[in-house]
Chains A and B, each alone.
Chain A
Amino acid sequence: DTAVSQTPKYLVTQMGNDKSIKCEQNLGHDTMYWYKQDSKKFLKIMFSYNNKELIINETVPNRFSPKSPDKAHLNLHINSLELGDSAVYFCASSRDRSTNYGYTFGSGTRLTVV
């Protein structure tokens, strides 16, 4: 039973389209995250939610909008996709908002914008 699951695994879309990525965790964790990993494998945080409350919002274009309907789900909607949005997007969760216990990551969504 997958702890942090993301869908879809692969997403190929044209510039200008709007797309969503979904994430669910069954670990009972309070906090969830979105990270972006670029072509050089650099992993950078985008957003974090703790019990449905946005607690981290890094410098991300406002075309990216996260939504957390409950603490087990965190979705990412991207408007007007650009070529530079191509990357692997990872969802992660942690027991609480501290980093002390580490993160559990999903297996990623590879987004390709053409």
Chain B
Amino acid sequence: TQLLEQSPQFLSIQEGENLTVYCNSSSVFSSLQWYRQEPGEGPVLLVTVVTGGEVKKLKRLTFQFGDARKDSSLHITAAQPGDTGLYLCAPQGGSNYKLTFGKGTLLTVNP
């Protein structure tokens, strides 16, 4: 059973600040997905990273997959209140028939 950790668990920042959240595991992943869940809604897929060392950008969000494919990070530049939500990582490996989610990072961006 892989151990999956997301950090920090909670993060509260002011609008305009930069931040990074992390997803770490003891296992190697074939790929990893990041989701954002806004209050009162279901998670929404942001990105899938597949190759070790891969970097993907989505506007102000930068996703990186670790070289060893055991960890990933999400960096947000100039955070906005609309970025508020629960950020979940979901690695793929082992059973390819279900997504197992981390416990998430709850981000609050204050105006």
Binding site for B on A (CB under 8 A): 4, 33, 40-45, 48, 55-56, 90, 92, 97-100, 102-108
Closest to A96 in B: B97
Q: Do A98 and B86 touch (CB < 8 A)?
A: no
Interface size on B (CB < 8 Å)? Answer: 24
Known: A102-B33, A107-B40. A45 touches B103 (CB 8 A): no
From DSSP, what is the main secondary structure of chain B's interface residues?
strand
Q: Do B44 and A40 touch (CB < 8 A)?
A: no
Q: Do A43 and B97 touch (CB < 8 A)?
A: no
Q: Do A102 and B45 touch (CB < 8 A)?
A: yes
Complex-state Cα separation, A13 to B74, whole angstroms: 39
Known: A99-B96, A102-B48. A41 touches B106 (CB 8 A): yes
Q: Considering the complex of A and B, which 9 residue pairs feature the smallest CB-CB distances, nearest first?
A: A105-B42, A102-B45, A43-B101, A99-B99, A45-B98, A107-B41, A105-B43, A99-B92, A90-B42
Complex-state Cα separation, A100 to B98, whole angstroms: 10
Contact of B88 among A4, A40, A43, A45 (CB under 8 A): A43
Q: Which residues of B contact A99 (CB under 8 A)?
A: 33, 90, 92, 96-99
Kindly identify, within residues 92 to 109 of chain B, every residue whose CB is under 8 Å from any CB belonging to chain A. Answer: 92, 96-101, 103-104, 106
Beyond known contacts A43-B43, A104-B45: 11 more, CB 8 A cutoff:
A40-B103, A41-B103, A41-B106, A44-B101, A56-B97, A90-B42, A90-B43, A99-B99, A102-B35, A105-B42, A105-B43
Contact of B97 among A42, A48, A90, A106 (CB under 8 A): A48
Known: A43-B88, A102-B33. A92 touches B42 (CB 8 A): yes
Known: A102-B48, A106-B42, A108-B42. A41 touches B104 (CB 8 A): yes
Complex-state Cα separation, A42 to B104, whole angstroms: 8
Q: Which residues of A contact B101 (CB under 8 A)?
A: 42-44
Known: A41-B104, A42-B103, A43-B88. A108 touches B41 (CB 8 A): yes
Known: A43-B88, A92-B42, A108-B41. A56 touches B98 (CB 8 A): yes
Q: Which residues of B contact A4 (CB under 8 A)?
A: 42
